[in-house]
Structure 1
Amino acid sequence: MLVLLFQYTIPVVMLLCGVGSFVSVRKHLLSSLLSLEFIMLSVFWVMSLSIVTLGGDNFFVLFFLTLAACEGALGLALLVSVVRSHGNDNFNSFSALQC
């Protein structure tokens, strides 16, 4: 029972660290994207642990992993387009009034 509790403690701590990093560090777009990927990794870990514990199939976990990879690719494409248009990825250099 203690081992099962320890298995769920690490991903939850990872999730809280990722959310804390995402909320507190808002200077660069790349650090925000890395925090989102860290959150996705911890959610993937929790989902795979719970599905394996319940004895279910891993197809849903693979589908979630595919969506997380697509989200990462979309975030990197957005980062490249922002760096090409603005020259850096600082949130302070963005203006909502510019097109």
Structure 2
Amino acid sequence: MAILSVFSFVPLVSFFCGVSAFVSGRKHLLNTLLSLEFIMLSIFWFVATLVANLGADCYFLLFFLTLAACEGALGLALLVSIVRSHGNDNFSGFSVLQC
């Protein structure tokens, strides 16, 4: 039972580290996207350990992994679009009123 608690504790710690990185550093869009991917990976790791301990099917994990990949692809597409239109990914150079 001690191994189960360690395998459940590590993804939770990594989740909170990802959330703190997401909240603290908002200078570059790429850093924000990387912290979001880290959060998704830690949630996937936590759910995978729970599903493995319950002995259930892993179809939900494949669905979750597919959604995480789609989120990553959408974020990279937005990053490329912003870099092409504005020249960089600094948040300080963006204006809310500008399209």
TM-score for both structures, normalised by structure 2: 0.98
Determine the structure 1 residue equivalent to 2:20: 20
Deviation at 1:5, TM superposition (A): 0.7
- The answer to whether 1:49 aligns with 2:58 is no
- The answer to whether 1:3 aligns with 2:10 is no
Deviation at 1:90, TM superposition (A): 0.4
RMSD between superposed Cα atoms in Å: 0.5
| 1:1-99 superposed matches below 5 A | 1-99=1-99
Give the share of equivalent positions with the same residue, in percent: 66
CA distance in 2, matches of 1:6, 1:47: 14
| Displacement over 2 Å in runs of 4+ | none
CA displacement, residues 65-84 of structure 1 (integer Å, 9 cap, x when unaligned):
00000000000000000000
Deviation at 1:2, TM superposition (A): 1.1
CA displacement, residues 41-91 of structure 1 (integer Å, 9 cap, x when unaligned):
000001111111111100000000000000000000000000000000000
Structure 1 unmatched runs, 5+:
none
CA distance in 2, matches of 1:97, 1:50: 45
CA distance in 2, matches of 1:8, 1:25: 27
SS of residue matched to 1:26: coil
Structure 2 unmatched runs, 5+:
none
Deviation at 1:34, TM superposition (A): 0.1
In the alignment, residue 39 of structure 2 is paired with which amino acid? I
